[in-house]
Amino acid sequence: MSVPTLRTQRLVLRALEHKYLDEVVRCAGNYEISQWLVVVPYPYTWSDAEAFLQMDLAGDLSDLWAITKEGAFIGVVSTGEGLGYWLEPSCWGRAL
């Protein structure tokens, strides 16, 4: 089941799509991000990102959104058993 698109004044949360996988690999493959994530392989590969997307599409993951700002992918948020998210390092410490 796909998540609804959520819009704020500055961000859009939308379903994770194949077009975002290059950015998912780049970000999740960054140790500064992956060290804080649960059960994420390091180094993170394209195959890992494809498996992540397939799990989401199959409904195996709790509500999961790609976070975008001005159309650019900047992270992921999930509202499973608890709130979890990660952001592209250029967004750290900034008001989004």
Pairwise CA distance, residues 32 & 7, whole Å? 28
Q: What is the pLDDT of residues 10-50, one digit of tens each?
A: 999 999 999 999 999 999 999 999 999 888 898 999 999 99
Six token digits for residue 13: 């949360």
Domains of the chain: 6-90 (3.40.630.30)
19 φ, ψ to 5°? Answer: -65, -15
In the prediction, which pLDDT does 80 show? 77
Does the structure show a pLDDT above 70 at 1? Answer: no
Record the pTM. 0.90
Band of the pLDDT at 59, cuts 50, 70, 90?
confident
34 φ, ψ to 5°? Answer: -65, -25
In the prediction, which pLDDT does 81 show? 77
